[in-house]
Structure 1
Amino acid sequence: MASSVFVATMPLRASKGPPHLLMSAAYSLNFWDLQHFMVFIKHHSSSSHVLVYDFQPKDPEDIYVALEVLSGRAVPGILLVRKLKTLPRSKCWLVGYSKGNAVEIATQFNTKWDTSLRVGLNDCRHYTNGLVEQLTGEEDVLNRLKNNHS
């Protein structure tokens, strides 16, 4: 049975203090390019949890990592897969349904993903677009969401 595929966004993580406040404000003001994107998979046969697939820097709150990212350099990234009890209540959109076993497709996708994170070339947006395309067949889902929800 197909699974529902969602895209959600949250504030970019930053070190405490002014950087964190800036990222929270950017999220609140809906600055699309200053948000972090993730893919959620909800199995229809199991309503007890959703899986979250995420690509981010290994240490997103390290100021030195932030400086490397801002300078355009690559930083070590990490692929995260987590279980949650529910979907986010806001800034979460149903984008389609999986073409097959969503967990198998996502697991295979992750084995091939380059974890060298570089903003603008290989970041959470590219990961989200790529995983959604593998799961549903839709290309460039973030562009569609941006045009419909900004």
Structure 2
Amino acid sequence: MRRASRRPSSPLSEALLSLGIPIVNNRMPISGLAFELLPISERSALLTAVERFMAIGIEEAFGALVAFNVKTSALFDPRKSPPVALLPLLSRLSHHPHGPHCRRVQPDHRPASERAVRASWARLKRRMKAEPSLRIPPYRDRPFRL
């Protein structure tokens, strides 16, 4: 659901919308925070979409994914193996061969989108919580020397 909400024009998003699952929602998460760290409204939006997806039959859901040419890499993290129960169904989807990816360099004069800035800010806050030793103590705690 998160991948689909990040890219509303992707085949995965289009397949979910055809099934009646609202992924283009202003309450969907824009940060990369773990589920447990998301605000309640964002968790609620994700769980509502997941509940609707689970209410649809598995054959109907995979039929829509095949119809919209969704790649297997859009459904799970390639670094982890998918659930065994889904392997027969995943074989029906097209496979995207992994190769070198070329990132397009954005020109410096173009401002980042609000969504990109919020995601970057959330990553920075998460990093600061993970590494508290990098914080600089305030000046009042340091001795004053001349």
Task: Report which of the two structures shows the higher radius of gyration computed on alpha carbons.
Answer: 2
Scaled by the length of structure 2, the TM-score of the pair is 0.21
The one of the two structures with greater contact order (alpha-carbon pairs below 8 A, sep at least 6) is: 1
> Would you tell me which structure has more helix in proportion to its own residues?
2
> Would you tell me which structure has more strand in proportion to its own residues?
1
Scaled by the length of structure 1, the TM-score of the pair is 0.21
